[in-house]
């Protein structure tokens, strides 16, 4: 048990380290690195005859350029990361950790809320649809969720913003809260946060709901063919108990690991939603960082995404046995 646990944790740490080093090297040594980008867009005549400005610019560019061996440079960057130093944001000259710390709670709020709502609602709907397989309800809802799943998240987000935000004016069209409320643990601020987050959460919920429903329906239909379900029906057990205790409990198991993975990957997928609704989360930060070639901020967000995915997979491995007693940790 302990040996297996140490092995899994060790593999996760190694995965995070290697991925960070590769990501850093790809950004730092690319033709579009910050130093090369500044040189390409800066007119040569803008610093002609200005030796002081030219010297300051050259000194600044030297801080952006890597030196020496790429492996040593990446290890030095990793050492800084392990000490909580993600660098200084090129645009605002503020520590990257400070910027991410301000944006991360907003992304965590909309991502986790939308995933939990879509997960439990999708599980319940998928179980009901699968249990009523072959009926008109099954065929109509299957068609609806199949179409819904094929709609890109930025299309559904733009439509919700246009109709519910601009046309009807029911919800705000940007920001995390109203400027006329005082931030803090008070009712006006909480209501303002919920109102501003409603459309982003609704967009992410609709994007994930169809997948959970279709997946749960397929698992339910598969589980209905098991011998223990047929035996329970022969014994005359109540259909509701069969649906929840016999079918639902076993059909939900494969979706548990998908839930953990989805939470990790959704931090990266929120970039479209946050940009559409001008929501000040990590996705909005990443969009601006890529647009302005702000590589310290890019790397800081990449580290968050990498860690969330790897830690999510590790937690899924460690906790799956709690749901399924047939699976033992370490086997």
3-state secondary structure of 195: helix
Residues of the chain with pLDDT > 90: what percent?
2
Contact present, 91 and 292 (Cβ < 8 Å): yes
pLDDT of 185 higher than 70: yes
Query: Of 58, 6, 19, whose CA–CA distance to 310 is shortest?
Result: 19
Residues of the chain with pLDDT > 70: what percent?
78
Q: Do 124 and 241 fall into the same domain?
A: yes
pLDDT of 217 higher than 70: yes
Neighbouring residues of 96: CB distance < 8 A, sequence distance ≥ 6: 86, 87, 88, 89, 296, 297, 299, 300
Q: Do 246 and 127 fall into the same domain?
A: yes
Q: Do 147 and 59 fall into the same domain?
A: no
Q: Do 318 and 227 fall into the same domain?
A: yes
195 in any annotated domain: yes
pLDDT of residue 33: 59
pLDDT of residue 62: 55
pLDDT per position as a tens digit, 146-164: 888 888 888 888 899 999 9
pLDDT of residue 198: 92
300 in any annotated domain: yes
164 in any annotated domain: yes
CA 228 → CA 132, 225, 328, distances in Å? Answer: 19, 9, 22
pLDDT of 142 higher than 70: yes
Q: Do 76 and 133 fall into the same domain?
A: no
pTM of the model: 0.78
Q: Do 313 and 168 fall into the same domain?
A: yes
- pLDDT bin (cut points 50, 70, 90) of residue 325 is low
Q: What does residue 199 show for φ and ψ, rounded to 5 degrees? A: -65, -45
112 in any annotated domain: yes
pLDDT of 35 higher than 60: no
Contact present, 64 and 113 (Cβ < 8 Å): no
CATH number at residue 281: 1.10.3720.10
13 in any annotated domain: no
pLDDT of residue 214: 86
Mean pLDDT of 3-17: 84
If one counts the domains in the chain, the total is: 2
Mean pLDDT of 248-258: 72
Q: Do 132 and 178 fall into the same domain?
A: yes
167: DSSP letter: I
pLDDT of 102 higher than 80: yes
Which contacts of 88-95 are long-range, i.e. CB under 8 A and separated by 24 or more positions? 88/296, 89/294, 89/296, 89/297, 90/34, 90/64, 90/292, 90/293, 90/294, 90/295, 90/296, 90/297, 91/292, 91/294, 91/297
pLDDT of residue 52: 54
3-state secondary structure of 57: helix
Q: Do 260 and 146 fall into the same domain?
A: yes
Q: Do 231 and 318 fall into the same domain?
A: yes
pLDDT of 293 higher than 70: yes
Mean pLDDT of 115-124: 88
3-state secondary structure of 26: helix
Q: Which residue has the higher pLDDT, 276 or 261?
A: 276
- pLDDT bin (cut points 50, 70, 90) of residue 11 is confident
- pLDDT bin (cut points 50, 70, 90) of residue 216 is confident
Separation CA 86–CA 66 (nearest Å): 16
- pLDDT bin (cut points 50, 70, 90) of residue 234 is confident
pLDDT of residue 47: 47
Could you tell me where the DSSP H helices lie in the chain? 2-28, 34-41, 51-64, 70-82, 96-131, 136-149, 153-160, 187-224, 227-234, 239-241, 249-251, 253-276, 282-291, 295-323
Q: Do 125 and 31 fall into the same domain?
A: no
Query: Of 31, 37, 57, whose CA–CA distance to 289 is shortest?
Result: 37
Q: Do 202 and 59 fall into the same domain?
A: no
Give the structural domain span for 213. Answer: 108-323
């Amino acid at each position: 048990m302990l040996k297996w646990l140490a092995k899994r944790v060790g593999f996760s740490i190694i995965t995070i380290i290697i991925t960070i080093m590769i990501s850093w090297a790809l950004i730092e040594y690319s033709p579009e690195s910050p130093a090369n980008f500044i040189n390409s867009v800066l007119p040569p005549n803008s610093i002609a005859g200005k030796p002081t400005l030219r010297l300051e610019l050259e000194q600044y560019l030297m801080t952006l350029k890597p030196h020496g061996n790429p492996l040593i440079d990446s290890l030095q960057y990793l050492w800084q990361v392990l000490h909580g130093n993600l660098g200084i944001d090129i645009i605002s000259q503020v520590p990257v950790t400070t910027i991410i710390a301000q944006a991360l709670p907003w992304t965590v709020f909309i991502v986790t809320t939308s995933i939990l709502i879509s997960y439990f609602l999708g599980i319940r709907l998928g179980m009901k649809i699968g249990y009523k397989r072959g009926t008109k309800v099954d065929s109509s809802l299957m068609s609806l969720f199949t179409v819904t799943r094929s709609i890109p998240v930025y299309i559904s987000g733009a439509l919700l913003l246009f109709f519910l935000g601009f046309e009807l004016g029911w919800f705000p069209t940007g920001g995390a809260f109203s400027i006329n409320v005082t931030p803090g643990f008070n009712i006006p601020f909480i209501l303002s946060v919920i109102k501003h987050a409603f459309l982003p959460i609704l967009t992410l919920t609709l994007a994930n709901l169809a997948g959970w429903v279709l997946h749960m329906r397929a698992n339910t239909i598969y589980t209905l063919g098991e011998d223990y379900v047929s035996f329970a029906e022969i014994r005359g057990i109540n259909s509701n108990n069969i649906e929840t205790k016999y079918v639902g409990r076993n059909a939900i198991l494969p979706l548990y690991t998908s839930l953990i993975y989805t939470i990790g990957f959704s931090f990266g997928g929120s970039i479209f939603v946050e940009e559409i609704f001008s929501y000040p989360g990590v996705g909005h930060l990443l969009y601006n960082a890529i647009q302005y070639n702000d590589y310290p901020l890019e790397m800081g967000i990449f580290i968050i995404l990498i860690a969330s995915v790897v830690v999510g997979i590790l937690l899924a491995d460690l906790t799956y046995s709690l749901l399924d007693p047939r699976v033992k940790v370490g086997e």
